[in-house]
Structure formats: structure tokens, C-alpha cells
Structure 1
């Protein structure tokens, strides 16, 4: 048996069951007794406690996840690192892995694959903005909830790209079916590695198979570096052309030709969702050759030679004035031709302006683009004032015209749209407000309400108990806000007590003590045992039943309602008598009850009487008169007339 099951870690996490066994750690389902919620506790396996590399990876995972706060990334609540135990307390996710879902469905519908991919890219964009590269993106590390929400897990080999630059080792490499070519080759990696892995997952969701298979992991890694994947539409012709282009563009071998950020890939997916027939034309054709200007020089030289030859032709004899005018004209023509030729030589108006491919500016900072020598051959012009955009940070270009890859002349204008960043909203305190009104307000602000329910002793049913994020937290348009709706006070079940053999009054008192109600009262005139007359002989629900508070309990009483005026006397017994004695009760001279008891143990003896009007009752202790009472059944009272109990003390 696992040694952690049934234990309480750090005085608050009650380990309930094991829910996952990994290569370096096991994951347990636990109950947080302080926050009163179910959590997942990841514990480094005991055999790796002395392994410095494993301990580093485990701490690195908690370090990476601790700085992330995104609805599509599993949250970390607490960490504990000691020589005895290393654990990470995380959000508990009740779902299956994306890998299990793909294996179950075989091939996903393209709309569903896009829905999952968008969530993954948004989560990765958040991580990349924090300087974190996951490095092990695969469907086994993607959790899928029943409502279609995606959660990225397992940042065990993640790297802080801004704080350290490392190349891969065998111990740090991700799953070979999803790693990028640069990762497989052991080169330095960046956020584009995660983009490649997303492309592989999208390929698998659309086709039902990974792009590269081989007998050994090394062979698969080599294919990632060298081989070109079969186009998805050749495996599944129903895939739209534009979505195939997005998939293959994400899987470019050369990271420089790949999507440069998650935001860029989200941009294309957004355009594809608006127009599924779109084609992005990611073809990478060579630029056309520049025109050869030598032919224009040859034409100019030939023209000059023609003028000189024409001058040498024989002219008819004319009057002396004519040759002079002709000479002036010829000189003017020669000078003009020479001037024109010289200007042609200098300016070359017959040469074509060079063509250029439009670069991809989406995802780039506008302030960087407008001064970068890389884009000096184009005129970058903002189309409008910046506007709020869910997917792009402030100052980042989110749309351009013409689009990337379009062939234009050098010096052409590229109009761009610039993001104002996400529109942030500071959440107020919604607790106690009507749930439907709160959801409507969040929708109005561009937020998505994730409904949950919980019991509350203080908030009435139908009102909001709390939200996550909570009061004072800032969220952006498109973010998910979990809204907890009150189900009212939680009613715990109570146990129905045994009522048979006691009076109606006692039954009522006992039910009241258990927060239960007296239901229908029925009298059984034909009950055979006269000794039970006036007592409960059956009940419903039966004793020991588990019911909600204020549940009515039906009772059946022996006899008739008229004959069931019943009184109970509690007879005090001498505490010093520690032996068995016989107690007897008579009503109007008739014995109605006899019982052998030990006064020292019992303390008090209950005696029951049934009748109408007045009755005389005598109590006997081992056959000797002990007490005398008058009973008033109509008033449900009694009077002690004579008391000889002090004579029986020992």
C-alpha cells in the first residue's frame, strides 16, 4: 500500500487516492482542510530524492508554474521542499488527457481541433510573455475538461528563456513525436519550439496520426530533422486547405520560416475561422530576376552611330545659306541626342523597379518595425488609432495589408493595425448579488463566466458566493471568470431514532431533538398486545434511516385515540440500594406495571398509566408501599400524596 494514502501532509492535505504515476513523481487526489477544496498533490518519488537532476527538474516545474496565471494552465497553490518530501499542490482537474480523447475519437472534427488549439496557443502566449518555454508540449500533457476547456500541465522541463540559454541533453528532451527539429538536434531553442509541437498536435487531431513514425525514438527524431510530413489533406481530404497551410506552416523545419509567435498563429486561425475557404499561399517562391539594362545601352550607341552615318551622306548642292542652316540643325540634333543619351545613361528609365515579397509584420512591435533596417524597403503606415485586442499586447501589429508573401514593388506602402493591448477590467465584489445579473455584467464586459455551484451558510441560494479571480483582480476581455453560485445551506442527513415501545409524547420529543417532524399519527385498535396500549408499535421511515432534516416520521400507536390519554411518572430510586428489587405500580388497585431493577444503576424508574379523569396510583418497593399519587388525565398532571422513599435507603 502506498505510504501516503490516508496521511495528512503539512497538517492540511488529506491524501485520498493516487490518480497518476509518472516517471519521476506520483500524483494524488487530496482534500485541503483549510481551503475546503479538492486538490492534486504531486510528490517526487522517494527513489529520486537523492538525484540532484530530478530534484532540480521538480523545483523548476513549480518555479515555472508559480509565475503563470492563465485559465488554460493548471494552477499551483502551494509547494513544499525538504530533505524528507518534495511536493507541489495544484489545481485538481477532473478530466482526461487530450491524447486519450484523440485515441477515443480517432479523428477530431476540424472545428473541435481549432477550438482546442486556440486555447493551447493562448496559454503558450502567456507563458512565452513570461519568458517560459514549455519544451514538452504533447497531448499527454494537455488535460481536457468535460466542458471542452483545455489545461496545460507538466512544466517539468520548461526553461526560463530570458534568464538562461541552454541546449538540450538526453535528460531534458521531450517526447520525440512532438519535438521540433532544433530540439531533436540539440540546438538552442526558443518559443518557436512550442509552436512546432502545437503544429504536430494539430496534425494528429486532424488526421488521427502523428506525422512521423519509426521503430526507435532516434529514428523518429531523425525524421523530425530531415523528413517532410505527408500533407494532412492526403490523409484526410475533408480538412480545409487553409487549415492545412496553418498546420504545415507551424511545422516548418526552419524556425525562421515558422510562425514566430503564438500570436501570429492565432491571427491566421482567426482569419481562417472567419473564412474557412481562405488560402494563405505559404509557397516561398523565388523572387524574379532584375531586368538586364545592357540592351538599353546598346540601343543608345546604335542611335548615335546612325546619326553620324546620316551626317556623312552626300547632300545636294545648295546655295551657301542652306549648308550653314543645315550645319546648325545637324549640330543641334547631335547635341540634343548626346544630352538625351547621357540622361538615359544616368537615370535608366527603361529599367524595372525591383519586386519584393511582403514580410510578416503581425506579432511584431510597431515601434521596432518602423525603425528597423530590415523593413526599410517598405513604407509602414498605421491604418487607424490603436484598438483593444484580446490576443495581442500593447503596441503589437495584429493585422496588415497587403498580407505576408504578396509580391509588391520596393517602396510600396504596408498599412498596419496596432493593438492597444487587452482591455483590463478590475473586478468588483460580486458576493451576495444575483447570479444571473452578475453573469450578464461579465458578458457585457467581454468576459466569459464559468459557472460553478457550492453550498453556503451565509449566502442565499441563487446568489453569488465568490468569483475567481476575485474582487480587486484585473482581467482582460476574453478571460474566464469562475462564478460560484450558492445552493444555500448544506443540509446534512440525520438518523431516524427508534420510536417503538415509547409514548407519543416521548416520540415527539425525540423527533424534535433530531430536527425531524411528527408525520401522520395512526391508531391500531386491534393490536393484540394490550401491554403496548398507548405506545408506538411502528414507524416510517424505519429506525436508523438516513433522511434530510425536517422529514416527517409517521407513527402507529396501539389502541384508540380516546383510550390513549397516557401519563408517565418518573419514580426516583434510592441511590444506596445496589441490588435487584421488584418495583410495582397499581392504578385504582389494579396492577399495571412490574419490573425488576437495580436502583443504584437505574436511578429513576419510569411508570406508565392510561385512563381518563382521575386515578389513584400506588408504587411498591419489594412489595412495600413506596409512594402514592393522584393522576389527572384531563390536565395531563399528577400530585404526590404520600412519600415513604426515605425509609428504603440503605
Structure 2
């Protein structure tokens, strides 16, 4: 059994069960006892606590998600670094991974694939706008909820794209080999377009049920990412619309410059496709504009370790060993010669370039760098040989102060000190989410359209909201959203009509009963507390009754014990002595006088009986004392045993009353027990 299950981290997070195991961490389902909610706790494996690389990646994930706030990205609630345990507390998502869904479906319907991809791209655009590149986009890192909502998670190897240092460890590719971009596979610099490539691979897999590249080893797959061309999706699944195939393959271009340059750009094509599924974009795929022309023998030397004479005619009979060696040696020598020629040419070109042959007599032309994505301050600091001027400012999805256009463009040749005019982003326009909760969808839609807020509608059952009315929004009403940001609007389908059976909650605690009922889809009303000798808060009954069949969402009312046994009544009848002398009575319950039952003067000849009622539980001994003087002289007259549960009163002792006004006065010989 896992050592954390049943434990409480920092006195707050009660670990329930393991829900996922990754390379460096274990994810648990837990209850936050302070906020009374279910959360996911990602705990760094103990064997990596001493590994600074893994600890850095773990902290990096938290740092990345902490700056993000989007309905399609997992939320982070709390973190703990240092000591004997490091963990991140995140939003708990009740669903499956997109990878599991693909495996279940085999081939995902193209409309579903588009729906999922749209949400992933919106999440990535939000992350990219914040300067964060995920770098490990794959269906295993995408959660799918029952209502079709997508949640992107696991930012463990994410990095901030605008960091001043872009150094990448090239001795190993970062990411999952089947989904990484060619630049990741080669250990080159990555940016937002690397995530776009991974989205393209996922879309390819959803539409075809197959990965574009598969091999026996990870290294082989990585090489295929760099060198091989995948089969066209429609060759595998002819039902895929041509426009969607074009979008998929355009995202998977090996050259980042030929790929979609942003998630927003890919989203625009998807929106065009959704409006017109028969659209064609006329993109070109995997076309080498400058194909390498090398003699076939050299190609063979570069492509394989053991040369096969594919261009030579086959000889009948056994081949002479000399001929074999000759055939093998020719291409090898040709390859060496060709390599020497290439090296010589490259060396000469480098020297000529250094001498300014290609840049003019004085070598005074320099290349314009790419400054899109930088701020003016960063551009001026990094490229002091240029004069940067702000040509215009525009509201844009890019972060405020970020350069979004430049003139001249990247790669242009200009003189040192030349002006580079740029357009700077004012950041996205912000709107406030209007109060549409509780309104019918027609009214809510008109309000959102009037405010020019983009939205996505998700329908779900709700026990408290009528069909067609808005349940809630995400972000919530009153929060600000940036221009172009999509909010989620949850619209009610009405109460659930699914039949369910009321579980047996009799005899368990109120808290456990509520939890069980809520897990079964019931709502729990205010409990009714009654007197009972059962333990306090134990459930005595419920309405509707146990095992009755009702609709999901029905309200259940619990009747619980207050831990106090109910009191019962018993009436005692005292037969008074036959005398005309006035008497006074006192009543003692278990030896303690009940002063409320002390009588005034009674004349027995006029009132032969004295009745009184008691409340209690179990049994009590009642002693009645009598006197002719209200202040003294009281003596035991009658003793009774009272059983409250059975309402019985039994006379156990009757004493003689001495009348001071008569020679003798005998009481009745006995009094019959009285039943109430």
C-alpha cells in the first residue's frame, strides 16, 4: 500500500487514492479538509528529492501554471517545496486522458477531433500569450471530461519563451518522441511553433487512429521526425475532409517557418473550416524548394551502413570477391572525395564572406534580426546596431508592449544604424463578464454579442436551474476577460431524469450519509433532529425511504438522533387516610424532594385521593410523606416504584397514619397499583 494513502499532508490534504503515476511524480486524489473539496495532489517521488534537475522541473511546472488562468488549463491551488516532500495541489478533474479516449474509439469522429483541438489551441494561445511554451503536448497530458471539456496539464518541461537565454541541452531531446517537433528531436531552439507541431500530430492520430511515425526504438522515431514524410491522413481514412487534412499537415511542417506561426492562426483556419467543411486551403506539404542533387552512389553511402549495388545489373552465379570489394570501394571513395570538395567549398565561401565579398566592397550591410515577440527595451538592448522606431500601436492578443510587426522584415540587408519601424501591442482589450446567470439563453446570448465577448456554450443537467437558463460562467460574472478570450457559458438541460435508488443510510453518521447520497446524485436537505437514545447524529430514518426509486437530484431529508433519550410520563395516585383532620403532603423522587408537588392543606374526608404526574426515563422510587403540621412532623406514608417505559406505578410500602384528633385512624390496608 502506498505510504501516503490515509495520511494528511500539512494537516490539510487527506490522501484518498493514487490516480496517476508519471516519470517523476505520483498524483493522488485527496480531500482539502479546510476548503472541503476534492483536489489532486502531485507529489515528487522521494528518489528524486536529491536530484536538482527533477526538482527544477517540478518547480518550473508550478511556476508555469501559476501565471495561467484559462478554463482549458488545470488550476493550481497550493504548492509546497522543501523538506522531505514536495507537492503541487491542483484542480481535481474527473475524466480520462485524451490518449485513453483515442484508444477506446480507435478513430475519433472528425467533428469531435475539431472540438477537442479547438480547446487545446485556445489553452495554448493563452499560455503563449503569457510567454510559456509547453513543449510536451501529447494526448497523455490532455484530460477529457464527460461533458467534452478539455483540460491541458503537465507543464513540467515548459519554459518561458521570452527568456534571455535560449540554450537547449542538445545531448537529449526534450518531450515525448512520438509528438515532439523536428527542432526538439534535434535539440534545437524551440518556441510556440513546436507546440503547434505536437497539436498537428495529435490531430493526425485522432483522425486516423495511427501515429504518423512509429518504429521499434525511440531514436528511430526521432530520426523519422527529422527526415521522413508521413502518409497523408486521407490515405488511411478517406472520410476526412480535405480542408481538415490540409490543416493537419500544415501544422506538421518540419520547417517551423512553413508551419502555423501561432495557435491563433491555426484556430482561424479551423473556424473557416467549421463554417465551410468543403473548403480547401491549397497548402503545399513537405515540398523541398531546393532539392539536393547528389549522385546515387553517394546517396547510398549516406543512407545505409552496408552498400547494396542497386544500380548495377545482377550477375548470375557466384560473384568474385575482388568484384565485391571493388563495388564497395568505389562509392566509399566517391563519398570521401565529395566530402573533401564540400569542405573546401564551404571554407572558401566562409573566407569570402568574412572578407565582405557578398556584402559589398566595405562589408557595411548587416542582416535585420527578428524582433517580433520582444519589447522595445529588449530589442534595443540586444541589437544596438539598429534604430528602432514605433510606427504604430494596436490592441492585439499579444501581451502589452510586445512587438507584433517589423519593417524591414527579418533577414533583410540594411546599413548599420538603419531604422527598423515596429508596431507595438497595447495588449488585448478587456471586457467585464456581464451578469447573465439565471437568465434565459436568448437574452444571455444577446447580452454577450452586444458586449462582443466570445463564448462557448456547454449544456449540462442542473437540479436548481430550469431548462434553457444560464447556470454559471467561467470566468465568473464581474471578472475581466481579454479581447478574443472565450468564456464558457453553462446552460441548464433541466433536472436529471435518471432513476436512482435511495441507498441504505440508516445507522450511519449524518456526515457519511450526506457524502454517500451526494455521490449517488442526490441533494441533501436540512436534517431533522429528534430525541433518541441512539448515538448523537446517527441517522434514524430518511425521506424518501431507503430502497425507494426516485429521479437523480431528488432532495433527501435525514432524521438524526440528538443523543438524548425521550422522557415518558407516569401518574401516581395516593389514597389518603380516612380522617377529617387536615393533612399536608411532600413528594420525594429518588430521595430528592420535588417542591412543585408539595401540597397545601387537604381534608381527606373531602378529597380521598391525591394525584400527580412525573416525567422521566427508566425507573424511579417515589416517597410520599404526610403531616398535620405544614412545618414539621412529616413521616413516610407511602412508597411507590415507577417504570416510565411501561407507564406502571407499583405501591411497595404503606405506613399507618396517626391522627392526632382520634384515638386511632387506620389507613386503607393497601392501594392498588395504577397504570397510566
Q: TM-score, normalised by structure 1?
A: 0.57
- Alpha-carbon distance between aligned partners in 2 of 1:49 and 1:115, rounded to the nearest angstrom: 39
- Alpha-carbon distance between aligned partners in 2 of 1:227 and 1:435, rounded to the nearest angstrom: 53
Seen in structure 2, the aligned counterparts of structure 1 residues 242 and 168 have a Cα distance that, compared at 3 Å, is farther
- Alpha-carbon distance between aligned partners in 2 of 1:390 and 1:475, rounded to the nearest angstrom: 12
CA-to-aligned-CA distance 1:438-473 (integer Å, 9 cap, x gap): 8556644443455678999xx999998975433542
Matches within 5 A, 1:331-480: 424-427=430-433, 439-440=444-445, 443-444=448-449, 445=451, 446=453, 447-448=455-456, 468-476=474-482, 479-480=486-487
Seen in structure 2, the aligned counterparts of structure 1 residues 172 and 81 have a Cα distance that, compared at 3 Å, is farther
Match in the other structure for 1:147: 147
CA-to-aligned-CA distance 1:77-111 (integer Å, 9 cap, x gap): 11111212211111111111111111111111222
State the 1:112 CA deviation. Answer: 1.4
- Alpha-carbon distance between aligned partners in 1 of 2:255 and 2:220, rounded to the nearest angstrom: 19
- Alpha-carbon distance between aligned partners in 1 of 2:136 and 2:239, rounded to the nearest angstrom: 29
Secondary structure of 2:256 counterpart: coil
Matches within 5 A, 1:255-294: 255-283=256-284
Secondary structure of 1:256 counterpart: helix
Contact 2:39 2:90 survives alignment (8 Å): yes
Matches within 5 A, 1:610-621: 620-621=650-651
Seen in structure 2, the aligned counterparts of structure 1 residues 47 and 172 have a Cα distance that, compared at 3 Å, is farther
The question of 1:624 aligning with 2:654 is answered yes
- Alpha-carbon distance between aligned partners in 2 of 1:276 and 1:18, rounded to the nearest angstrom: 43
CA-to-aligned-CA distance 1:233-283 (integer Å, 9 cap, x gap): 111112122222211111111112111111221122222222222222223
Seen in structure 2, the aligned counterparts of structure 1 residues 40 and 193 have a Cα distance that, compared at 3 Å, is same
State the 1:160 CA deviation. Answer: 0.9
State the 1:221 CA deviation. Answer: 0.5
State the 1:209 CA deviation. Answer: 0.3
- Alpha-carbon distance between aligned partners in 2 of 1:568 and 1:62, rounded to the nearest angstrom: 70
Secondary structure of 1:85 counterpart: coil
- Alpha-carbon distance between aligned partners in 2 of 1:149 and 1:136, rounded to the nearest angstrom: 20
Seen in structure 2, the aligned counterparts of structure 1 residues 8 and 466 have a Cα distance that, compared at 3 Å, is farther
Aligned alpha-carbon RMSD (Å): 5.2
Match in the other structure for 1:361: none
Seen in structure 2, the aligned counterparts of structure 1 residues 26 and 603 have a Cα distance that, compared at 3 Å, is farther
State the 1:7 CA deviation. Answer: 2.5
Match in the other structure for 1:223: 224
Match in the other structure for 2:571: 569
- Alpha-carbon distance between aligned partners in 2 of 1:626 and 1:39, rounded to the nearest angstrom: 78
- Alpha-carbon distance between aligned partners in 2 of 1:515 and 1:569, rounded to the nearest angstrom: 32
State the 1:65 CA deviation. Answer: 0.5
Matches within 5 A, 1:167-178: 167-168=168-169, 173-178=174-179
State the 1:168 CA deviation. Answer: 3.9
Contact 1:168 1:188 survives alignment (8 Å): no
Secondary structure of 1:128 counterpart: helix
State the 1:127 CA deviation. Answer: 0.9
Matches within 5 A, 1:487-636: 490-491=524-525, 548-549=556-557, 568-569=570-571, 573-575=589-591, 605-606=643-644, 620-624=650-654
State the 1:482 CA deviation. Answer: 6.0
- Alpha-carbon distance between aligned partners in 1 of 2:558 and 2:467, rounded to the nearest angstrom: 19
- Alpha-carbon distance between aligned partners in 2 of 1:234 and 1:227, rounded to the nearest angstrom: 16
Number of residues of Structure 1 aligned to a counterpart in Structure 2: 442
Seen in structure 2, the aligned counterparts of structure 1 residues 196 and 218 have a Cα distance that, compared at 3 Å, is same
Which deviates more, 197-206 or 463-472?
463-472
State the 1:59 CA deviation. Answer: 0.4
Contact 1:77 1:91 survives alignment (8 Å): yes
Contact 2:473 2:489 survives alignment (8 Å): yes
Seen in structure 2, the aligned counterparts of structure 1 residues 237 and 188 have a Cα distance that, compared at 3 Å, is same
State the 1:41 CA deviation. Answer: 1.1
State the 1:4 CA deviation. Answer: 2.0
* Unaligned stretches of 5+ residues in structure 1: 288-363, 369-385, 399-417, 500-509, 520-539, 552-565, 578-586, 589-594, 610-617, 628-641, 643-650
- Alpha-carbon distance between aligned partners in 2 of 1:451 and 1:223, rounded to the nearest angstrom: 42
State the 1:223 CA deviation. Answer: 0.6
CA-to-aligned-CA distance 1:111-159 (integer Å, 9 cap, x gap): 2111111111111111111111111110111111111111111000111
Contact 1:72 1:123 survives alignment (8 Å): yes
The question of 1:129 aligning with 2:133 is answered no
Seen in structure 2, the aligned counterparts of structure 1 residues 266 and 448 have a Cα distance that, compared at 3 Å, is closer
- Alpha-carbon distance between aligned partners in 2 of 1:550 and 1:201, rounded to the nearest angstrom: 49
Contact 1:424 1:474 survives alignment (8 Å): yes
- Alpha-carbon distance between aligned partners in 1 of 2:36 and 2:267, rounded to the nearest angstrom: 38
Seen in structure 2, the aligned counterparts of structure 1 residues 608 and 213 have a Cα distance that, compared at 3 Å, is closer
Secondary structure of 2:274 counterpart: helix
Seen in structure 2, the aligned counterparts of structure 1 residues 395 and 115 have a Cα distance that, compared at 3 Å, is farther
Matches within 5 A, 1:226-265: 226-265=227-266
CA-to-aligned-CA distance 1:335-355 (integer Å, 9 cap, x gap): xxxxxxxxxxxxxxxxxxxxx
Seen in structure 2, the aligned counterparts of structure 1 residues 224 and 515 have a Cα distance that, compared at 3 Å, is closer
Match in the other structure for 2:10: 10
Secondary structure of 1:96 counterpart: strand
Contact 2:570 2:642 survives alignment (8 Å): no
Contact 1:452 1:482 survives alignment (8 Å): no
Contact 2:436 2:444 survives alignment (8 Å): no
Seen in structure 2, the aligned counterparts of structure 1 residues 489 and 220 have a Cα distance that, compared at 3 Å, is closer
- Alpha-carbon distance between aligned partners in 1 of 2:466 and 2:289, rounded to the nearest angstrom: 69
Contact 1:263 1:391 survives alignment (8 Å): no
Seen in structure 2, the aligned counterparts of structure 1 residues 276 and 449 have a Cα distance that, compared at 3 Å, is closer
Contact 2:173 2:186 survives alignment (8 Å): no
Match in the other structure for 1:108: 108
Contact 1:29 1:41 survives alignment (8 Å): yes
Match in the other structure for 1:49: 49
Match in the other structure for 2:117: 117
State the 1:480 CA deviation. Answer: 2.5
* Unaligned stretches of 5+ residues in structure 2: 291-371, 377-392, 406-423, 496-521, 548-554, 560-567, 573-586, 594-608, 611-616, 623-639, 658-667, 669-676
